[in-house]
Amino acid sequence: MTVAEAPEVFYWPHPEVHSGYIFLDKGRIEISPGCMIDLTGDVSIGEWSMIGRGTQIYTHDHYHEGTEPLLLLQEKKGVKWANKKIGKDVWLHGCIVLCQVTEIPDGVVVGAGAVLTKNPEPYGIYAGVPAKLIKYRTDKIIQ
């Protein structure tokens, strides 16, 4: 199949199939159009949280150890999956990628285009690739 012939959305099932759920707190939550929330694991989102356009939330990852082909490793082991918890009053600007993160605590802000690879601290503001803590919402600047 050529790129021109490929469908707009292409799904190749993993050997280890797991289907998660999304849990939304009562109260106001804004999820912009164009977000991708992979529900291999469960995702819970706290009230007053906002998720910007183009944000990608992954609940699975692949095994990367060894030197054998990664697709062969995937056929043998499947994929790793984990539930994700997004706290209250979290603002994920657009086009963010969440990898290897299991929890985003209350009050976190992640700048546009950031790639968050570690669990952040409450009320921290993160930006960059990979995302780093730049300050807290209390205006305490990180040295």
Asked if pLDDT for residue 50 goes beyond 60, the answer is: yes
Q: 10-31 pLDDT, tens per residue?
A: 445 555 667 788 999 998 999 9
The band of 87, judged by pLDDT with boundaries at 50, 70 and 90, is very high
- 17 CB burial (10 A radius; 0-12, 13-18, 19+): exposed
How far apart, in whole angstroms, are the C-alpha atoms of residue 142 and residue 140?
A: 7
Residue 3 has pLDDT above 50, yes or no: no
Which among 13, 17, 54 has a CA at the least distance from the CA of 37?
Answer: 54
Average pLDDT over residues 90-119: 90
pLDDT at 1 over 80: no
Q: Closest Cα partner for 36 from 20, 51, 16, 17?
A: 51
Q: 114 in helix, strand or coil?
A: coil
In sequence order, which ranges of 9-113 are alpha helices (DSSP H)? 70-77
pLDDT-based confidence at residue 142 (cuts at 50, 70, 90):
low
pLDDT score of 6: 45
Q: Which fold has domain 35-136?
A: UDP N-Acetylglucosamine Acyltransferase; domain 1 (2.160.10)
Q: Name the percent of the chain lying above pLDDT 70.
A: 84
Mean pLDDT of the chain: 84
What are the residue boundaries of the structural domains of the chain, listed by start? Answer: 35-136
Matching residue, tokens 């570690």: 118
How many angstroms separate the CA atoms of 95 and 128, rounded?
12
The structure's pTM equals: 0.81
**Cβ count within 10 A of residue 135:** 15
Whether the CA torsion 128, 131, 137, 139 is positive or negative: it is negative
Residue 49 pLDDT > 80: yes
